[in-house]
Structures are given as structure tokens and as C-alpha cells.
Structure 1
């Protein structure tokens, strides 16, 4: 009997373990799965003043579209053992004449067991060996670059390495315009990858996306969107509504990146702004909140961005407008202050190129988003040749951006260019996007918008905004009624005096006239 009792207790204990262990292990597995990939991005020079200027920044934005966290660092500041903290590392070499001299990096890279991608010249020996690379270095050449459906016939490339032989999968094709030289644009192996050159402003800016997609093992489908930015409360809202109508009639879904309002949210002008956005939303438009303009005179103010954003988002939600993300220059994601207060409310971002850096607390590691769009202007794609009349997807989520302005002719031309474009544009609300404040949870799924799980009726009529508004509360004044009565009495006395004076003037005129006739 005792043995049977022990067996029953052991059996019960095992059953309890089987029940408890899966439950306790799931959260940790989920947390591990949701943790973004962390990449170390090393560079030898930012190449300012050369054709490669801006390629490191473009690579940072490109990596963000694959939802990775990036730590940016120069080869010179690398310290021993840092490679071991990362499973994937990228090295950008922009200066062909000067090799990396940091002995700590050179020693660590030869022992590195993770995945390494090298861009440019002076590839480490481990990359050359594992990819079985044989390179032919050319200081300057005019090339034709082709990849996927795209090609650009004439690119002036400096410090270019042709790949003579290799192992691994190849991407794209580089062909010299001056000789019979040609080679793959990039090569990806099991552990190492190599890209011959990368510049901003030509097809290599797009081609690097195909290599990164393979190297990162990215399998999610990408989409292309239309974004109109630089929209303010004082913009021509009638023109914005007309633009929405024209895009709707053309069957083109679009996004507006709108500047927020952080005060006077109950003013009629603000309500008209929100009602216009609600109308845009009803015309197959989607709304993202652009970060506020940062000026040097206010960059150090201790404004609570979280609270300010929440107030504006809640005001939008109250009017039936459902923002789905944030629009920002890329440097915002490399600033601890901005990342911790403001950007954390969103899981989707449209990252624009940096125009003017206005950091408050700069860091070298980025904030990553589950969904991020790489912004390009349509003229970039217009300069390319392509094989098909319609292409659905680029290698990464892409935003074709236009600046909204009050020039009707320019906006008409923009719509026409979109009509004639070979790109198939996607509708942002068909993806899963969430914006969360303390009061509201706004999300999209399958083409529908929800505020606190309540489906938004996109056909809801706009509310008319009254011009009557008490901008300042009336202050009760002492003796106001008495003074009003007194003013009226004085007015009556003055009027009677004027009438009497007029009567005397007429009588006097007649008397004088009669005396003159006598």
C-alpha cells in the first residue's frame, strides 16, 4: 500500500511538472523571439566630400527596414572582444588607400564565428578565404549595374572591386562600359558575405537591399507606399482634400505624415485640421504622426514628448482619426531622449533622411521598430531602367515620398506621375500596426481601423466646426451694468444736444437770411 501511495504521489508530481513547465517556458521563448537582431555596423570613414558620402547613413536606414537594432562604431574605436557580443557584423570600407590598422579588430575578426558582411575594398582575409574570393581592384570605372528587374546604364564608380571568382549565392551584375569586365554585385555565403561597392543616389542604394535580405534571412513580404509629408495645421486643407479625392479616384492608397498640435486642441482651427484628416482617412488615406520640428532655440527644453504625443493622439481618436505610425528623420532613433519619450508609443515608422541633426541625448545604438519604411523619392526610380511594366515589391518596405505644398500644379503633376508609375502601391491599414496611449489603443488589421477595439466607420460624415469660440474666459467686471446704463444716458444726451444744435443752426440761418433781405 505504501509503494502504491508513493507511485501515485510521483505520478501526480510528474503531471504537475508537465502542466507547469510549458506555461512557464512560453513567455521566455516569446521574449527571445520578439527581441530584435542586434548588428554592429563598423566603418572606416563617412567619406564626406566624395561619391560615397551618405552611404553609411543610408545603410542605417536600410537596416532599420529589416527591424534590426544597429550599433554604429568606427574601426578606430573598436575594442578587443566586442565582436563576441554580436551574431552579425557589417564592415564598410570607403577609403581604399588606407587599410584598417586597429589590431584588436584584425585579431578578433580572424576568430569570429558569427556572420560578417563586408562592403567595399580591403576585405579581411577570413572573408576572402571562406567565400573563396578573387578580386580585381579598379580605381575608377563607368559601369552598368543590374539587379532583379532594375538596371542603371551609367554609374561612375570609384574604388570598385570586380569579383573574379567566388563561392556562395550571387546578387546582381556589374559590367564595365569600357571593357569586357563583369562580375556579381554581391555574394552571400553561409557565414560571410561581400558587396563590391555601395553609394547613395544610384541603383547600388537599392541593390544593397537584395543582399541584406538574403544575408539576414528576411522572409517577410515587402510593400511600397506613397507618403505625402510636411503637412501642418496651417497648410491648405482644401487643397489636401482635393488631393485625397484625386488619389482616391485614381485608385492609389496613400499615407499623410502630419505635424502634431501640442496645445490649443479645443480651438476651431485644430478641430478643422482633424476633420480634414478624417476626410482624408475616408478617401483611402492613412495617417501617421510626424515628429515635431526641432529648432535650436527649443532643443533643450524639457518637454514631456510622451504626454504631448498622447494628448494629440487622443484628440485624433476622439474625432475618429486613427494614426498608424510615426514619421521621423532617422537621427531620432539614435537619441535616447526621443526614443524613450515619444517614439515608444508606435510600432511602425517612416524614416526620412537626416536634414539637420538636432540631438538632445545622442547614442550610437538605434531604436528598432517591427515595421519601418525606407523613404525614396520617385525621381530616384524614374532614373532606372526596368524589365517589367508593373513590379509589385522592392526588397524592403519602401515609402515613395512627396512634400505637400499649396502649389496646385505641382501636386497635379505628382498625382499624374503616380498614375503613370510602374509601382503597385500598398494600403498601410492592411498590415498590423498599433499605436498605444494610456487612454486609447489604435490598431489596423485586414484593411479595417479600430479604436479601443471599436471598428471605425470610414464613411462617417464630417462635423461642421463653428467659428464661434471663446478664446479667453470672460472676467466678471464690477459696476459693468451701471456703466452700460450711464453710457446709454450719455449717448441720449449727446444725440439730443446735436439735434438742438441743429435746430438752433437752422433758426439762426433763417433769421440772418431775413435780415439780409431787409
Structure 2
């Protein structure tokens, strides 16, 4: 009996041990899965002053939409062993006559076994071999590029590389006036090649299709409409009118609003929040735009994280629930910005860079679980569409408009949105969150929650009183005594004036009598 009991105890211990072995590694595996994909982006030249200028930055912008952490590095600055730290590497070659002379990279690349995407000239032998690739260069002046439902005519070039043979999956189509055709890019088993890529034309969008498969991105993409450059002193009545027009047209939208870091209790600020609450009730979604860079780089040494938290908490107090932030793409390559303030968000709308002003530049980007790639209307107007009803772009994309006081421009924007046949997504149907020390804001399934309490989007607006003491009154000594004294002086002056008037009338009459005598 004792032997049987001992066996049962040993059996139970073995079962418990097996269960622990099975369960314990799960959190570690989950944590590993939550880490963003890391990509090493190498370039030979930024090609400034040429048609390829800006294509490295454009590639960084597209990559961010796939929530990857990108490390940017030139071939000249490559150090031995860097390549082996990555499973995905992109090489972009802008200048045909620049060969890679960094022997550390040359040696490491022969040992590299991860995924590799090559863009431009000087195709490595490994890429040619694995894709069974054959190419030819042709002098062209213009060509047509087509991919999915999009096409663009008369893209200018001087020399174009055509893919004449390959053993991979083709992406898009390049066509010349002479009838020559070539895939825009090809890929197979983690190796991909794109011969042509420039900023500002359809190739910027087309490379998104290649990257989606190369990165193994499986999430469904959506298209959003975003209005930015909204300030407390903007025409808030026009913003409400715009919200009504889009609501009546059945178009969900996003507004990226500039924050306020001082005077959060002023009536003007509260009216700003009440307008944003109205926008929220008209199927609008809110994100916090990063502040003007001059305010951050000023000598005031502002605590950006604390300032963001105060602004968001003030919004929450008024029933307003932001779901992310909007910023120029370079903000994600700055250690100070990403560690101060932007860590409160898990959703980003990244606009194209206009003026880069780093505080602590970093060469590895911070990624966000949900990131929207931003394009403006003039970019899309270059393209022709095969179908009237457009399919979604390869990555989550925001069609962005600047909000201003020009009623005609806003009317034209609304008209384009109504006529575009694009199915716009509602941001709050995704899972987004903003967390401060005092509040947690999240969205799910079309609903908004503040501290796990469902927000009533149709709640009534609060009227904001105009009577407000903008500057506290100072304590004044003897104020009551001086008021009494002033009143006494006023009475004395009035009595004096009346007496003087009486003496003047009497003197005038006496003078007249003397004259008549």
C-alpha cells in the first residue's frame, strides 16, 4: 500500500512538473512576439541634388507604417558584426558608379542568411542567384508604372533598369513607349529586388506592396481621412461645420489637434475642448499633434512628458478622449521626443518631414503598434484608377488635409471626399490606448472608454461663462479709505463748480445793470 501511495505521489509530481514546463515559457514567448521587427537600412548615398534625393527618407516613412524598428546606416559607417544582429536587411543603391569598399560589410554579407531587399543599382550576386535574375539598362525619358488599381503616366527618368528574367513573384508593371515591359519588383523566399524607387511618385506607394510581403505583414490595412493644423485659435465654428458636413456624408474622420501647455483653466481652453467634444460626437476621432518644435527647444527646459499628461488629463476632464498622436516622421528618430511624451501613446499618424529639428537624434526609430502612413491629396491626384471604388492601400494610410480658415479649400476637400468612392475607416473601431498616470483612454469596437467607463458620445455640451478673472486681483492697503476720500473730493469739486457758476451769474447781472445806468 505504501509503495502504491508513493507511486501516486511521484506520478502527481511529474504531472505538475510537466505542466509547469509547458506553461512557464509562454510569457517569454509572448514577450518575444510583442517585440517589433528590426530592420537594418543601408544606403550608399542620399543622392542630394538628383531625382533620387529623399528616397531614403521616403522608405523610412513607408517602413514605419508596418510597425518596424528601423536602424539607418551608411555602408561607409558599417562595423563588423552589425549584419548578424538583424534578420531583415535593406540595401538601397542610388549611385551606379559607387562600389561598396567597406570590407567589413563585404565579408559579413557573404555569411548573411536572413531576408534581404535590394533597391537600385549594383545588384549583389546572391540576389541574382536566388531570384534567377537578369536585367538590362535602357536609356528612357518617360515610362508608365502600374500596380494594383493605381497607375501613373509619364514618370521621368534618364536610365531605367528592366527585369528581363526572374524566378520570383512579380509586383506591378513598368511600361515604356517603345513597348518594353518589366515588373516593378520581384520577390521570393525572403529575397526581393526593386530596380527603381523615387520619392513623390507612384513608386513610393508601390514599394509598400513589396514590403508588405517581404515583412510578412498580414494585418488588414485601412484608409483614414485626417485634418491637421488645428489650434485653439482656429475657426472653431468652421470646425464644427466641417464635422457636420462629414457626419451627414457618412465619412468618419480624424482631427490632429495642437496641445496647450499653460492656462488650461481659461474659458478659451474650455471652449476648445467643448468643440473637440462636439467633433467627437459627430463620428470624429481625436489625436494629439506634437507641439511646435520651437516651444520644445526653448530655454524653458519644458518637461514634455509632464506637459502632455496635463493636457490629456484636462481633455479627459471635459470628456474628450484622444487615441494617439500626430507628428512628422523624424520625431520617431529622436531619443528625447520618443522618451518624453510619445511613450504615452501606442498609435501614431506620421506626416512627411517638412523641417527637421532634432534635439537628440537617434539612428534607430521607435515603432508603434498602430501607425498610419500619411499622404496629401496632391500626391494622389497624380494617379489614374482602374476602378472607381478604390481598394485600400497596402499599409494603413491617412489622406491628410490642412485645416485652415479658407472656406473654399475646405469645401473642395469635402467635395473630393464625397466623390472619391474610398471606403474610409473609423479609427475607434481599432484597439488604441493612451495612458497617463491619472487616466487610461482606450477604444475598441467603435466605443471609447475613459478608465474603463464608456463615454456617451452624444452628451450635452457645457456652456462656458465669459466672466472669468484672467488675472487675480491684488490686495490693496487702505483701498476702502481711499474710496471714501475720492467720493468726498468729488462732492467738494461739484459744490465748488456750482458755487462758481452762481457767482458768475450774479456778477454778470451786476455788470449789465451798471452798463445800463
Equivalent residues in 2 for 1:323-402, closer than 5 Å: 323-402=322-401
Secondary structure at the aligned position of 2:135 is classed as strand
Aligned residues of 1:109 and 1:126 also touching (Cα < 8 A): no
Report the counterpart of residue 293 of structure 1 in structure 2.
Answer: 292
Q: How far apart, CA to CA, are the structure 2 residues paired with 1:411 and 1:258?
A: 17
Q: How far apart, CA to CA, are the structure 2 residues paired with 1:147 and 1:483?
A: 83
RMSD of equivalent CA atoms = 1.5
Q: Structure 2: any 5+ residue segments left out of the alignment? A: none
CA gap of 1:58–1:299, structure 2 versus 1, over 3 A, is farther
1:300-331 C-alpha deviation (Å, 9 max, x unpaired): 65321111000000000010110010001111
TM-score by length of structure 1 reads 0.97
Structure 1 residue 104 and structure 2 residue 123: aligned?
no
Equivalent residues in 2 for 1:228-377, closer than 5 Å: 228-295=227-294, 298-299=297-298, 301-377=300-376
Q: How far apart, CA to CA, are the structure 1 residues paired with 2:432 and 2:460?
A: 25
CA drift at 1:139? 4.6
Q: How far apart, CA to CA, are the structure 1 residues paired with 2:9 and 2:383?
A: 73
Secondary structure at the aligned position of 2:294 is classed as coil
Q: How far apart, CA to CA, are the structure 1 residues paired with 2:39 and 2:231?
A: 36
Q: Structure 1: any 5+ residue segments left out of the alignment? A: none
Aligned residues of 2:296 and 2:302 also touching (Cα < 8 A): no
Q: How far apart, CA to CA, are the structure 1 residues paired with 2:110 and 2:156?
A: 33
Aligned residues of 1:121 and 1:159 also touching (Cα < 8 A): no
Q: How far apart, CA to CA, are the structure 1 residues paired with 2:423 and 2:49?
A: 36
Aligned residues of 1:144 and 1:151 also touching (Cα < 8 A): yes
Aligned residues of 1:337 and 1:361 also touching (Cα < 8 A): yes
Aligned residues of 1:295 and 1:358 also touching (Cα < 8 A): no
Equivalent residues in 2 for 1:426-441, closer than 5 Å: 426-441=425-440
Aligned residues of 1:336 and 1:362 also touching (Cα < 8 A): yes
Q: How far apart, CA to CA, are the structure 1 residues paired with 2:6 and 2:87?
A: 48
Q: In terms of mean alpha carbon deviation, does 469-478 or 382-391 score higher? A: 469-478
Q: In terms of mean alpha carbon deviation, does 128-137 or 502-511 score higher? A: 502-511
Report the counterpart of residue 415 of structure 2 in structure 1.
Answer: 416
Aligned residues of 1:121 and 1:160 also touching (Cα < 8 A): no
Equivalent residues in 2 for 1:441-480, closer than 5 Å: 441-480=440-479
* Aligned length, in residue pairs: 517
CA drift at 1:299? 4.8
Q: How far apart, CA to CA, are the structure 1 residues paired with 2:295 and 2:134?
A: 50
1:77-108 C-alpha deviation (Å, 9 max, x unpaired): 11222111000000111111222222222222
Moved over 6 A (4+): none
Aligned residues of 1:96 and 1:159 also touching (Cα < 8 A): no
Q: How far apart, CA to CA, are the structure 2 residues paired with 1:272 and 1:241?
A: 12
CA drift at 1:515? 2.6
CA gap of 1:297–1:396, structure 2 versus 1, over 3 A, is closer
Q: In terms of mean alpha carbon deviation, does 504-513 or 107-116 score higher? A: 504-513
Equivalent residues in 2 for 1:72-83, closer than 5 Å: 72-83=72-83
CA drift at 1:425? 1.2
CA drift at 1:166? 0.4
